[in-house]
Structure 1
Amino acid sequence: MAVWAIGDLQGCYDPLQRLLERIRFDPAVDRLWFCGDLVNRGGQSLETMRLVHSLRAYSVVVLGNHDLSLLAIAERRPDEQRKVNPDLQSVLFAEDHQVLIDWLRTQNLLHIDRALGWMMVHAGLAPKWTVGLAEKHAREVELKLHGDNYRKLLKNMYGDRPAWSPKLNGPDRDRAIINVFTRLRYCTPRGRIAFEEKGGPGTQQAGLYPWYEVPGRAERDLKIVCGHWSTLGLFIGHGVHAIDTGAVWGGKLTALQLDTDELRVVQVAGRDVPANPPRSHHHHDRTPRERTTG
């Protein structure tokens, strides 16, 4: 029996198949934790979603920013959906799109397994959030996402403001919570997210910290596995295990075994990308460096 966390897939079906073979995944005994961003950019988003959906009895998924974006786009008119990239269109216009979208919408922002000693988020946690607070705020949004009012939530979730504060309410509160769970990399000690900062540590402006290194942050009694930050690469430190290693940008797809005290990381080659990616990939032009520390 093994429990494996897997980094951002982003529509990279072939690398996922290679990784499942490499870890000898056996649904009879093993379990998978997917760190979010199942779709977008990889060119095989429909195949990836179908595969993860087929494994739903043996896996847990947390929602990433690209997954939420797909859910929001799925509510738009077909003529608007035809304006998005072909990779997302492959899902939106598939004959089984409704089954896949309905299933995706029932996934959570946060997964906790106290017996295992782990929690999983896509991006990160606000500086003052303990495990208990994170769980409380995740459930607030999940109740709306899984309920009848989900369209309103999806319509109002876009935007960089306001910064998280316990005093927020309504759509502002939901948006701030979603931004923390699905878009956070750097923030100030008070928790204001620097959305424009996407490089690896050392590239950020003064006064900003990686979310897991913020001075005065809350103590957390579970280990954390997350994705989202491909330029960070494989990072292990401060109780955090970041495993988005840029498969979609030609990096690697990473699996981390959670049910062992040994550090067991398995990686396979990510997507084949052209030698000179288009400039629109700016900060992702290179394979993310891998770093592990304390």
Structure 2
Amino acid sequence: MNIVRKPEWLQKRINPAAHAEMEGLLGELRLHTVCQEARCPNITECFRERQATFLILGADCTRLCSFCNVTKKTPLPPDPGEPERVAEAVARLRLAHVVITSPTRDDLADGGAGHYAATVAAIRSASPATTVELLIPDFQGSVASLRTVAAASPAIIGHNLETVPRLYQIRAGADYGRSLAVLRTLKELAPEVKSKSGLMLGLGETENEVLQVMAELREAGCAYLSLGQYLAPSRSHHPVHEFVRPELFQRLREKGEAMGFAHVESGPYVRSSYHAAHYGEGV
């Protein structure tokens, strides 16, 4: 297998020594973050700024996506005390904005929607000024589950399409049309809640394919979009097809804004929750 070397614009370093305070808090409260589980390259930057994206419903996923570093095995039952511990962390960190996500839990009747709602309620109780963003799985398209998270009234609900339809084999168990329908349904259930999605680039997609997905996201009422470079967590994961030049990220941002997205975060190191607090500024 040919290994594509990282270019000069992808040389961000992780410094574990800078993580001590945040990791101590997470360990004390027995909490997971997607920052750690997904081996996010931005972890040092975010943890140093006391920012984290909390991973609820455990750290084990029931799907087999070939790009993701989250563990694939049978998950434990939801921890009923987790929402309150997440809320305590949010309050102690004095977060103005927090992103809550989870692995896909196809083993649960509601996909974990009730746990999301409980977490929003706990954060509201402990830290009323904090705006809450949810990054949800597809809940197998369940309208009842989507209604549960919509009724919790977070500021933003995100669901990532991840890639273009032609490459959906990397999302084992997912369906492009179903994911698009999730965003469309959320907009119908809660028009006042901003919806958000994200794509990874560098998997072999064309620019025209990305633009087509962006247009379909706008048709589904999606307000916010993140575009970032796919980085394989290991050699056993789906390989990187190419490293996308910063100029293309800039061009896609401009085209997204022209399409009507309220905010497009686009760049090599962008991830779904990277700079998430800035999406609603001026909107």
- TM superposition score normalised by structure 2: 0.29
Q: Which has the higher helix share?
A: 2
- TM superposition score normalised by structure 1: 0.29
Q: Which has the higher contact order (CA 8 A, sep 6+)?
A: 1
